[in-house]
Amino acid sequence: MKKIKLLLLVSFIAAASCKKDKSSPFVGSWAGDYSGSDQGSWQIQVSDNGIMTGSGNSTRTGQGFTLTGNVSDNGAFKATSGVAGTGSEFTGTLTKNGKASGTWKNTAFTPPLEGSWQGDRK
């Protein structure tokens, strides 16, 4: 009887410790464009844990830039290029039906450049 109780206890502990990892509902490739004081294109890759990496290209400067950030489980999106105070910040929302939109601001210029962005899951 003690062996059965011990076996049940060990099984219970093992089952409880096998927590299934939850994957972000926004995993995959996304791309779109941005407009306003500058315009261009962007593309990102969202990982299982909601970490986002990507790049963009400005038609105003002709230069590319990198994007890093995260997406929360409810779709709230925040990505930056450069460093705080001298770079760009993209904020907005990704939706489970594959749409993305928000605003951006680049404080490296005086006055700052700003506008909106939109895109889709690819």
CA distance 100 to 77: 9
pTM more than 0.75: yes
* Confidence class for position 13, pLDDT limits 50, 70, 90: very low
* Domains along the sequence of the chain with CATH: 21-121 (2.40.128.120)
The CA distances from residue 74 to 9, 103, 117, in Å, are: 37, 17, 19
SS (H, E, C) the chain: CHHHHHHHHHHHHHHHHCCCCCCCCCCEEEEEEEEECCCEEEEEEECCCCEEEEEEEECCCCCEEEEEEEECCCCEEEEEECCCCCCEEEEEEECCCCEEEEEEEECCCCCCEEEEEEEEEC
pLDDT tens track for 84-118: 666 889 999 999 999 999 999 988 888 999 999 99
Tokens (6 digits) for 118:
């939109």
38 has a pLDDT exceeding 50: yes
Instruction: Please return the burial class of 33, using the count of CB atoms within 10 Å of its CB with bins 0-12, 13-18 and 19+.
Output: middle
* Confidence class for position 83, pLDDT limits 50, 70, 90: low
